[in-house]
């Protein structure tokens, strides 16, 4: 996952253009609404993801060590990209990035659509199974390079996602950008799991300092943001009312300002579920806190006409509100002692480990059960072949998480 908290932005297509109050309100209102969608639905999907017994659906767990190192790695990546854009041609770099995000966006959007496709796919239509297999060598030395099994539902999702991908690759249209951005954000919130609240506080605290430093202290974020053409942010035109879908004066919200608070909010939802009180107090309080923090960011930026790091306002709100609620309810100890990893099967991969898996989720589970029955060993301890590559849901999810992680090192500054 490659992700840095990207700050809220307003980028003017022309220096002379002044957005109307109606256009500004529509743009920022739409950004807030779009930001809430992946947080809400990603958090709900993270609960079912944590309870899944299928190894293909296991989330990536962030530990306190990962959280402590994250801002440092993010800073190094951000500054490295800054130097990269200074040395090499921006045109060729963005061409490579466009192709990379074209593939990644298709996989991410397909994974996002798959639960919906399972519901709307007509039962009268046959759901056939397919397999894409590439091997190297022959006989005993034969090894799998690609082993991708999928069905008709997956194929329909891939085809729809491919249409969006081609649209984005050719036109760079803001709607296609937002579809990819929403898919990246939703999957990030769903698949990135903090193991406890303390880890969340370390991560958000570190990125709070990171965001403030790189926005207020240097011009690195602004330079990278203006040079980096990729769906790592949500955009909405301020001149939509005047120019329609061809509008070009955008307000912008980075994915990091959605995913980073989002994974903390998702953790609190899983904590609510663990209390078994049929209540979502901490989830709703943190969700409302996010709305308050994002609204405050927009207000301050619009009032002072100056770049604002969104995490400066989001982190205190998203952490402070639930802690205050826990103090009033007398559950602060329970909150900080809660371990999200306890609800995930042992052997759940961590953020720093990206194992390669061969086969579809169904075939993988079947083959692991077979090995377990034959050897008497736990299927979760089965060592996977490092030479196998599967460009399916498991692989796309981990690549996407890696993408979001690196995005967190590309923040954009606010320009009113």
What single string gives the DSSP state of each residue in 172-198?
Answer: --HHHHHHHHHHHHHHHHHHEEESBHH
- Rounded distance between C-alpha atoms, residue 401 and residue 30, angstroms: 25
pLDDT of residue 205: 95
Over 50: is that where the pLDDT of 187 sits?
Answer: yes
Task: Specify the pLDDT at position 333.
Answer: 93
- In the block, tokens 């639930």 appear at 322
Nearest to 27, CA basis, from 204, 242, 215, 221: 242
- With residues binned 3-state (H G I as helix, E B as strand, rest as coil), the percentages for the chain, rounded to 5, are 65, 10, 25
Which of the residue ranges 33-47, 101-115, 310-324 would you say has the lowest mean pLDDT? 101-115
Q: Does 321 have pLDDT greater than 60? A: yes
Per-residue pLDDT band for 360 (boundaries 50, 70, 90) equals very low
Alpha-carbon torsion 288, 36, 279, 202, what sign? negative
Does the pLDDT value for residue 375 go beyond 50?
A: no
Distance CA 285, CA 90 (A): 43
- Annotated catalytic, 211? yes
Catalytic, out of 57, 66, 239, 257: 257
Quick check: 406 pLDDT over 90?
A: no
Residue 119's alpha-carbon distances to 113, 116, 392, 396, in angstroms, are: 10, 5, 20, 22
Q: Which of 34-38, 249-253, 254-258, 273-277 has the highest mean pLDDT?
A: 34-38
pLDDT of residue 27: 93
Q: Which of 394, 404, 304, 325 is nearest to 358 (CA)?
A: 394
What is the average pLDDT value for the chain, to the nearest integer? Answer: 79
The pLDDT, as a whole number, for residue 150 is 78
Q: Which of 11-20, 241-250, 291-300 is the least confident region?
A: 11-20
CA 210 to CA 74: how far, in whole Å? Answer: 8
pLDDT at 159 over 60: yes
Q: What is the mean pLDDT of residues 26-55?
A: 87
What whole-number distance in Å separates Cα of residue 311 and Cα of residue 304?
Answer: 17
pLDDT at 303: 87
Answer for the pair 293, 313: CB distance below 8 angstroms, yes or no.
yes
User: Is residue 239 flagged as an active site residue?
Assistant: no
**Strands (DSSP E) found in 14-127:** 60-62
> Which segment of 163-167, 195-199, 249-253, 262-266 scores lowest on mean pLDDT?
249-253
Least confident of 55-64, 132-141, 323-332, 342-351: 342-351
CA neighbor of 305 nearest in space, from 414, 220, 162, 210: 414
Determine which one of 57, 211, 239, 272 is catalytic: 211
Token representation of residue 276? 């078994």
Beta bridge pairs of residue 317: none
Q: What is the largest CA-CA distance in the chain?
A: 72
């Amino acid at each position: 996952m490659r992700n840095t908290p990207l700050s809220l932005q307003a980028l003017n297509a022309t220096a002379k253009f002044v957005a109307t109050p109606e256009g500004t309100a529509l743009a920022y209102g739409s950004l807030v609404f779009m930001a809430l969608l992946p947080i809400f639905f990603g958090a709900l999907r993270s609960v079912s993801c944590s309870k899944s017994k299928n190894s293909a659906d296991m989330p990536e767990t962030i530990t306190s060590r990962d959280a402590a190192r994250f801002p440092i790695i993010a800073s190094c990546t951000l500054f490295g990209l800054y130097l990269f854009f200074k040395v090499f041609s921006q045109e060729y770099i963005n061409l490579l990035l466009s192709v990379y995000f074209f593939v990644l966006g298709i996989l991410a959007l397909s994974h996002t659509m798959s639960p919906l496709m399972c519901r709307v796919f007509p039962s009268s239509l046959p759901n056939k199974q397919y397999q894409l297999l590439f091997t190297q060598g022959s006989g005993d030395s034969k090894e799998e390079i690609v082993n991708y099994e999928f069905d008709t539902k997956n194929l329909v999702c891939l085809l729809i996602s491919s249409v969006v991908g081609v649209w984005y690759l050719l036109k760079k249209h803001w709607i296609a950008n937002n579809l990819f951005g929403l898919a990246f954000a939703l999957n990030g919130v769903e698949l990135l799991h903090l193991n406890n609240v303390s880890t969340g506080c370390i991560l958000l605290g570190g990125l709070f300092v990171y965001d403030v430093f790189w926005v207020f202290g240097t011009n690195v974020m602004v330079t990278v943001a203006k040079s980096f053409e990729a769906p790592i942010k949500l955009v909405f035109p301020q001149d939509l009312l005047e120019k329609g879908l061809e509008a070009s004066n955008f307000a912008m919200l980075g994915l990091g300002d959605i995913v980073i608070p989002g994974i903390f909010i998702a953790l609190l939802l899983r904590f609510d579920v663990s209390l078994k009180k049929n209540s979502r107090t901490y989830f709703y309080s943190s969700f409302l806190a996010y709305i308050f923090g994002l609204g405050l960011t927009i207000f301050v930026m619009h009032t002072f006409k100056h770049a604002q790091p969104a995490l400066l306002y989001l982190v205190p709100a998203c952490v402070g509100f639930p802690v205050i609620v826990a103090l009033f309810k007398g559950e602060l100890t329970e909150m900080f002692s809660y371990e999200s990893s306890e609800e995930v099967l042992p052997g759940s991969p961590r953020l720093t480990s990206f194992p390669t898996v061969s086969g579809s989720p169904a075939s993988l589970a079947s083959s692991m059960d077979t090995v377990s029955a034959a050897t008497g060993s736990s299927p979760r301890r089965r060592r996977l072949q490092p030479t196998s590559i599967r460009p399916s849901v498991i692989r796309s999810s981990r690549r996407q998480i890696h993408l979001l992680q690196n995005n967190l090192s590309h923040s954009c500054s606010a320009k009113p």
